[in-house]
Amino acid sequence: MTTPAVSVIMSVFNEQRYLSKSIESLLQQTFKDFEFIIVDDASTDASFEIMQRYASEDSRIVLIKNPVNQGLASSLNNALGAAKGEFIARMDADDTSVKNRLEIQFEFLDKNPGIALAGSSIELIDPDGNIIARSDAVDNPAILKKLIFYKNICPHPTWMFRKGILNDLKGYRSLPAAQDYDFLMRLYSAGYEISNINIPLLHYRVHERKISFDGSLTQIRLSRYLRKLYRNGLILNNRFFEKGQTTFAPPSKILQRIHSLSLRLFEKGRFLMKDNSPISGVLLLCVSALLSPYMAYFIYCGFRAKLIEKSAGN
C-alpha cells in the first residue's frame, strides 16, 4: 500500500447521532489520497459499530479503539502515532467537511511551504444541519501572531498541518481544556508560521453537548495561564505542565453558579447586539463582567482581538 498524502484524524466518544454524516463528508472528498484514522474513546453507544460498518466498506479507514476513556488529547496522540501522511488534517465527529476541503488545504500548503498549519473559515449549523451563521477566519499570518495573545486563531476541526512539526511539538499536551490553543502557541514558539484560508471549509455543528457552561470556567482559566507562559517565553517548558502545575483548585459551587449566570447573560447580550438592540446588549455584557472576573477577562480579550482585526481591515 502506498503512503497517503494526508492522514485525517478523528476522536469519537458517543457521537452516534452525527457520526455517519461526519464520516461520509470525508469519504466523499474530491481529494482521494488520504487515510482516515478514527479513534473510538471507549464509546458506550453505537458509535464503534457505525465506524466498523464504514471501515468494512472503505479501506482508507483505520480504526483504533481505546480500552478505557482517555480524553481528546490522548486519543488524538494515538491517532498521530499511527498516521503515515505527510499532512495531518483534523475532524470532529459531529461536524462535516465541504467536499473540496482536503483538496483546497492540501494545495494551499503545497504552494506555501513557509506555512506549517492552515485552518479555515466555518459555517455554523444547527443539530439538523441547517446553516445558521458564518465565522470568517483571519488569513493574514502577521495579524494572527498578534491575535493569539487574546483568542484561539484557528478552529481546531479545520486544521491541516505538516506532520514534520511533530518532531518539535510531540503532539498534544494532556490538559483539561484548550489543548488546541496550547498547540498553536507552541507552534509559534518553535518558529513555525500559521495561516487560515478565508473560505468556509467546515460545517461546525452547534448543539447542547458543545455548549458547556461547566467547561467554560476551566477553558478561561487555563487559557489565561497559557497566555502568561507564552508572553514570558515559557510555553515550551514542560515543567510548567507537570502534575500540580495546571491542576486548578476547583472553584466553589457559588463561584461556578455565578459564572454560569454570567455566561448566560453574556450569550444573551451578544445575541441582542446582533439583533439590533446594541444598548440592551452592552448593558448585559457589563452586568456579565461585573458578576464574574473570569467573564470580565474573557470580554476584555475579545475586545482587544476585535480592535486588532479592525485595525487590520478584517
Q: What is the CA radius of gyration of the chain?
A: 20
Alpha helices in 232-277 (DSSP H): 253-274
| 145 CB neighbour count, 10 Å cutoff | 13
In the chain, where the domains are located: 6-205, 249-314
Q: What is the mean pLDDT of residues 251-262?
A: 85
pLDDT per residue as tens digits for the range 65-121: 999 999 999 999 999 999 999 999 999 999 999 999 999 999 999 999 999 999 999
Whether 187 contacts 117, CB under 8 Å: yes
46 Cβ neighbours under 8 A, 6+ residues apart: 16
Supply the pLDDT for residue 270.
84
Number of helices and strands (H, E) in the chain? 11, 9
CA-closest candidate to residue 82, choices 119, 42, 116, 37? 37
| Continuous segment of H or E residues that includes residue 160 | strand 160-162
Whether the pLDDT of residue 153 is over 80: the answer is yes
pTM of the model: 0.93
pLDDT per residue as tens digits for the range 161-200: 999 999 999 999 988 889 999 999 999 999 999 999 999 9
- As its CATH architecture, domain 6-205 has Alpha-Beta Complex (3.90)
In angstroms, the CA 207 to CA 216 distance is 15
